[in-house]
Amino acid sequence: MEVDYIVVGIGLAGINFCEQLRESNKNFVVFDNGSQLSSAVAGGLYNPVILKRFTSVWKSKEQLELALPIYASLEKLLKVKLDYKIPVYRKFASTEEQNNWFTASDKPLLKEYLSDKIVKNSNKSIDAPFGFGEVFSTGRIDIKTLINAYKEFLKKQNMFFEADFDYETLKMTSDKVQYENIEAKQIVFAEGFGIKKNPFFNDLPLVPAKGELLVIQAPELKIDFVLKSAAFLIPLGNDLYIVGATYEWKDLTNNTSLKGKEELLGKLKRLITCPFKVVNQVAGVRPTVKDRRPLVGSHSIHKNMFVLNGLGTRGVMIGPYVAKQLYNFIENDMALDEEIDIKRFC
């Protein structure tokens, strides 16, 4: 079999790169063993504002303008609903936070995303005497549905191999990549935390951070917005809500923990006052980077081998942006943004 690309990994990074290939009529195959769950267990929010400090997300405008049309096209391709437009409300803890919000809402990069009015709390199930600030241009991508539907799409085209990738079997020359019976021009590794087992890129400074989420049922809560405080609450419909998220740097398994559950329940009980029931708990390891920028670029020796990783907690927004950057770097000889190029660590 001859293809243009082999892609290893089918999380948000892998899917977005595959879409760049598909739109450019490039032939490709994908390998994924299902071991990396960070994309599948993510909340899926896209939000142009860092709500802890009321600052703009890096290149938020460029990311949103690129990402939203791509997810819309994926909905048509896969015939599934992915993009749920929903406002984000940031709970204020004090008058000082309200004032800081107003100051931020007047800044050029934030003006179009932050409401200049305080939303008063009228929900008896939420403890928010200082009200909320509303963020615009926000929503949720159903990542689990996206990944499952994209895998099925690839399987129908005989382009997907649900298997471990054996690095020792890979043979590299200056102009081609040979893996078992597949010959390709290029190979892209988009493995998330799995990169730690990759002998070609395991020296990159990926900082894995385990995250856990709860799904609760709260019939009395009745909110139609994402509520952000010490934790976030994302409505799913049918009185179900995602509660997230934790950060753990020692236990790097995909196993849920009592510690993670208790941490989230503690934050939740300080946020809402109505009864609720935990109906699910999930965990996955995020591929984060110390400088909070992705890891994109070519191998130092094998010039037809590339990495696309380190999307961190904002993969929904940044995934399409870095995938396009990498595609243009490979196919159009365009320089990578210096802030994401792995050469910054050389």
Q: Is the pLDDT of residue 36 over 80?
A: no
Q: What is the pLDDT of residue 163?
A: 92
Q: Say whether both 156 and 274 belong to one domain.
A: no
Amino acid at 28: F
Is residue 60 in a domain?
Answer: no
Is residue 57 in a domain?
Answer: no
Q: Say whether both 219 and 325 belong to one domain.
A: no
| Number of domains, the chain | 3
Residue 220, domain extent: 206-289
Give the tens place of pLDDT for each residue, 155-196.
999 999 999 999 999 999 989 999 999 999 999 999 998 899
Give the tens place of pLDDT for each residue, 65-110.
999 999 999 999 999 999 999 999 999 999 999 999 999 999 999 9
Q: Say whether both 126 and 186 belong to one domain.
A: no
Q: Say whether both 297 and 201 belong to one domain.
A: yes
Q: Show Cβ contacts of residue 46 under 8 Å, excluding neighbours closer than 6 positions.
A: 64, 67, 68, 138, 139, 140, 141, 314, 316, 317
Q: Which among 74, 104, 135 is the end of a domain?
A: 135
Amino acid at 116: D
Q: Say whether both 93 and 229 belong to one domain.
A: no
Question: Cis ω on the peptide bond leading into residue 93 (within 30° of 0)?
Answer: no
Q: Say whether both 276 and 340 belong to one domain.
A: no
Q: Which among 100, 116, 135 is the end of a domain?
A: 135
CATH of the domain at 190: 3.50.50.60
Q: Say whether both 106 and 241 belong to one domain.
A: no
Q: Is the pLDDT of residue 148 over 70?
A: yes
CATH of the domain at 283: 3.30.9.10
Q: Say whether both 184 and 302 belong to one domain.
A: yes
Q: Say whether both 253 and 320 belong to one domain.
A: no
> Which alpha helices (DSSP H) does 37-167 contain, by range?
60-78, 95-105, 143-156
Is residue 193 in a domain?
Answer: yes
Q: Please identify which residue in the block is written with the tokens 């130092």.
A: 300
Give the tens place of pLDDT for each residue, 310-335.
998 889 999 999 999 999 999 999 99
Cβ burial of 208 (10 Å; 0-12, 13-18, 19+) is middle
Is residue 55 in a domain?
Answer: no
Q: Say whether both 20 and 149 belong to one domain.
A: yes
Average pLDDT, the chain: 94
Is residue 51 in a domain?
Answer: no
Amino acid at 308: L
Q: Say whether both 181 and 327 belong to one domain.
A: yes
Using a cut of 0.85, tell me whether the model's pTM lies above it: yes
Q: How far is CA 274 from CA 158, 199, 216, 244, in A?
A: 49, 50, 12, 18
Q: Say whether both 174 and 310 belong to one domain.
A: yes
